[in-house]
Amino acid sequence: MKILHICSYYNTSSLYKYLFDALRDNSHVMQKVYVPSYYHFRLVQEYGTVRELGKSSLRIDFVYDECLYKLERYFLLWRIKKVARRIKKEDNLKDCIMHGHSLMFNGGICYEVHKKDLTRYVVTVRSTDIEILQKLPIYKNYALKIVENAERVIFVSYSLQKKFMELFPQALEYIKNKCLVIPNGIPETWFDNLHQEKIQRDVINFVYQGTFHARKNLLYTVDLMDCLNVNGVECKFRMYGAGPEQELIEKKI
């Protein structure tokens, strides 16, 4: 099986690496990870860079394509069609399935390629996609075309699937049989190095692991923990990760 991953966010999140590594262990799968990016903006600082460039190895090939200008970030459909033309021109898509790792940009690229040669694709819907569609409803019809033509529509949580269906009640009938909920994977490191600190059973323990980004509402969560403790509900909150809000969070704590 040949998989072409369209993953523009690869360098700003570590979660994709674990999926690609797990698939690489399957000798029947050949992967190509296509990462479209901006000229001189390979590491997108506002999202908090958390990983370095991936290196090609056995059964997995990374292709970094600096093909977009900064101004083009404001023209979503233009970006999608520009990158799709580059893929159709350069890649042999015979017997290949594409995976768009977001709905609006990466999934849009898959849809544009599919329109020409009917290459199969699956698409993953993420929280940023919901935010885009809520703020810019002009793209809702285009989003419907993407999911309608996809082989599978993957959601990373049931709550995200619910939000999507609330935005697109008309889509329920023709996509309900191809929807899957597959949460983001957990690295084996978390199981191999279990924390041995004795946990107080009379304290409510909360844990967050991920990017320290505004959309994660961590500053609000710190306020919530403070409120609980002040009102007699003893709790402890651990945060693991890094990102653009790290300094703000540390100051607030």
Nearest to 108 by CA among 92, 87, 123, 86: 123
pLDDT per residue as tens digits for the range 81-137: 999 998 877 666 778 899 999 999 999 999 999 998 888 999 999 988 998 998 898
Q: Which residues contact 211 (CB under 8 A, 6 or more apart)?
A: 13, 47, 48, 50, 241, 242, 243
pLDDT per residue as tens digits for the range 132-164: 998 898 999 999 999 999 999 999 999 999 999
Q: What are the distances in angstroms from CA 135 to CA 140, 148, 184?
A: 10, 22, 25
Rounded Cα–Cα distance for residues 100 and 235 (Å): 39
Q: Give me the sign of the Cα torsion angle 250, 8, 146, 75.
A: positive
Structure letter (DSSP) for residue 142: H
Instruction: Judge whether 123 and 110 are in contact, CB under 8 Å.
Output: yes
DSSP per-residue codes, 88-101: HHH---TTEEEEES
Nearest to 3 by CA among 130, 151, 125: 151
Q: Is the pLDDT of residue 224 over 90?
A: yes
* Most confidently predicted of 22-26, 32-36, 101-105, 215-219: 101-105
Rounded Cα–Cα distance for residues 122 and 146 (Å): 9
Model confidence band, residue 19 (pLDDT cutoffs 50, 70, 90): confident
pLDDT per residue as tens digits for the range 234-245: 999 999 888 888
Q: What is the pTM of this model?
A: 0.79
Q: Is the pLDDT of residue 205 over 70?
A: yes
Mean pLDDT of the chain: 84
Looking at residue 1, its pLDDT comes to 85
Mutual angle of helices 106-117 and 76-90, in 10-degree steps: 50
CB-facing half-sphere around the CA of 99: CA atoms within 13 A: 17
